[in-house]
Amino acid sequence: MRAKRERKEKSKWGMKLVIVAIFIIVIGIILNLAPNYIRKKTTGKIEVIINNNDVTDSMKLDAYVDENEIVYLSTKDIGNFFDEDIFYDNQYDQIITTSSTKLAVLPIEKKEMYVNSSKVKIYGAATKKEGEFYVPFSELKDVYNVEVNYKKESNILTIDSIDKEQTKANASKDIAIKYKPTIFSKTVDKVKKGDSIIVIEEAKNGWNKVRTTLGKIGYTKDITNLYKVRENMEPVKSIEGKVSLVWDYYTSVVPDRTGTKINGINVVSPSFAELVNLGKGELNVKIGQKGEEYIKWAHNNGYQVWAIVSNSCSPDIQDTTTEILNDYQLREKLINNIIDLVLKYQLDGINIDFEYIKVSNKNMFSQFIIELAPRLREYGKVLSVDVTAPDGSEDWSECYNRNKLGKVADYLIFMAYDQYGTSSTQAGTTAGADWIETNLKKFIEREEVEESKIILGMPFYTRLWEENGNKLDSKVIWMKNIEANIPAGVEKVWNENTKQYYIEYQQNNKTYKMWIEDEASIKEKFALMKQYHLAGAAYWQKDFETNSLWQTIQQELQ
């Protein structure tokens, strides 16, 4: 009997052990199949939540908070999440950073910064620790247009962009916020009835993804009274539809356009300003009373005025361009002069036309545009930048970072002409459609410039080439003068590749060649603009054209 009881007791204990083992296995399956248990990859460091995304594991360096509760982020992490162009200026020992409408400069180890050239006192200082640069990020919330909150209780830093939509709600009862959308998940935070929480995603299968005041992200079903705190802020377009810009170039006397109207355009770009040679950022402004009358005429006709600011487009001023681009204080002086020009004359935008830039200044020209763009955008002004075709000589083509310029500027204007120019060793077209299309593909595919940022520049001129044995000469012929430069009886032949009429004739033992720019060739260029969904067209230059061309342009844009 006793042995029988012992066997029975052992059997009961065995069953209990089996049940416990099964229970443990079931719990393990629940925790591992539906990954609902918190598996922290990082401990002891500040968790960073940016726009409701936990980026802690993506941080290159740890964030930290000083004794004055100033939040610091490394320039590497700011570059990763907020400003990829944040820049350490070794010459002046300062950090330069930009946002949509702000340019901020922070001297190292000084509790001050300069925002759009105005000095601001701050309570933290940009600093260097163990070879890495850090900036007092919470002091730059107005620069980056963000809300910054650090919760010591949870050791969580939340950063929210003010221009992004945000929805909040209230807890409908005392609730537990779950790590994953299931009742089996661990609780990450508890919220009292009526407390406010941020709604990241509204209900999926009954579960809402939320963020608590402590910065904890999780799920709950129990919310009520959803309301939007703010909407997404979309950038305002300066021009509806396609840009149609004509460059109105002059050397000294502003053209008198009084009483005239140019059909088919919505922007005029007069040559109002250029760098003063060796002028340390000073501008030679060519406006005066005539220029003010010009601006009034343009605005009365509904045209925006994007003034050309150039470096005279000449190799002779290359050293001046180099000096300014490589010195922050000179760039700042030039930018302030441009802003003064825009505000004084109520201009709508600026067209930067810097040519013959040394290839060694490629990055610093981009930096100049990076610093200029927010200063103009602060006042709602447009920034367009003229660039050449991607492949060519160092100081003509390779000196532009088109990808970067396309990201920063409102528009890139592709000056699609002088395919064959004064330096060419053979006669050729000024702007063949096949060449233009090849380069547009480079802009879009290789340089990765958005189509909606590209304005296609078209020439209102061509070249008459003269071949005399081994000697080659050419002269520019304005479009309106082309017919007068074609001898009687010379036949025009359509070139299907260049989409232009071509002529060739002999005279005085010399051979003359011309690829004609006229309404037919301009229409073909508009076809490319439409095919590649570009931002619009620009025309070099006013008064080179035939009178009927503007009607053609108006029809093409419609």
Is residue 279, in this structure, part of any structural domain at all?
Answer: yes
Residue 268 contacts residue 245 (beta carbons within 8 Å): yes
379/282 same-domain check = yes
Q: Are 442 and 390 contacting, i.e. CB atoms less than 8 angstroms apart?
A: yes
All residue ranges of the chain with pLDDT < 50 are: 31, 33-34
pLDDT at position 15 is 65
Tell me, yes or no, whether 66 lies in a domain.
Answer: yes
**What are the phi and psi torsion angles at 27 (to 5°)?**
-60, -40
Helices 318-325 and 362-377: crossing angle in degrees, nearest 10, is 70
Q: DSSP string spanning 264-321?
A: T-SEEEE--EEEPTT-TT-EEE--HHHHHHHHHHHHHTT-EEEEEEESTTSGGGHHHH
pLDDT of residue 236: 80
How far is Cα 519 from Cα 245, in angstroms, rounded to an integer? 17
Give the CATH number, domain containing residue 75.
3.30.457.10
Are 176 and 144 in the same domain? no
104, 253: one domain: no
68 is a domain residue = yes
Instruction: Give CA–CA dist 456/536, Å, rounded.
Output: 6
| 280 and 339 co-located in one domain | yes
Q: How far is CA 330 from CA 86, 207, 336, in A?
A: 19, 56, 10
If one counts every other C-beta atom within 10 angstroms of the C-beta of residue 27, the result is 11
Same domain, 251 and 397: yes
Rounded Cα distance between 341 and 327, Å, is: 21
With respect to residue 526, please indicate whether it lies within any of the assigned structural domains: no
Give how many domains the chain has, as a whole number.
3
Both 225 and 244 in one domain: the answer is: no
The string of pLDDT tens digits covering residues 257-304 is 999 999 999 999 999 999 999 999 999 999 999 999 999 999 999 999
Does 554 map to a domain? no
Question: What are the distances in angstroms from CA 418 to CA 421, 466, 518?
Answer: 5, 16, 16
**In a shared domain, residues 388 and 294:** yes
Which tokens in the block code for residue 499?
Answer: 């989409």
Last residue of a domain, one of 415, 447, 480: 415
221 and 259 together in one domain: no
Is 213 inside a domain boundary? yes
State which of 230, 255, 284 marks the end of a domain: 230
Instruction: Tell me phi and psi for residue 177, to 5 degrees.
Output: -85, 125
Please tell me the distance from the alpha carbon of residue 526 to that of residue 536, in angstroms, as a whole number: 9
Instruction: Tell me if 274 is assigned to some domain.
Output: yes
Domain interval for residue 283: 240-415
List, for residues 388-413, the tens digit of each pLDDT value. Answer: 999 999 999 999 999 999 999 999 99
CATH assignment at residue 383: 3.20.20.80
Mark whether 124 and 185 lie in a shared domain.
Answer: no
Pairing mode, strands 64-65 and 243-248: unpaired
Let me know if 469 is exposed, middle or buried by CB neighbors in 10 A (0-12, 13-18, 19+): exposed
Task: Identify whether 524 is part of a domain.
Answer: no
Q: State the pLDDT at residue 3.
A: 52
Q: So what's the pLDDT on residue 44?
A: 79
- Let me know whether 127 and 268 are in one domain: no
147 and 80 both lie in a single domain: yes
Q: Are residues 279 and 132 in the same domain?
A: no
For residue 174, the domain's CATH number is: 2.30.30.40
Last residue of a domain, one of 121, 151, 181: 151
What's the confidence (pLDDT) of residue 34? 47
| pLDDT, tens digit (0-9, with 9 covering 90-100), for 229-267 | 999 988 887 898 999 999 999 999 999 999 999 999 999
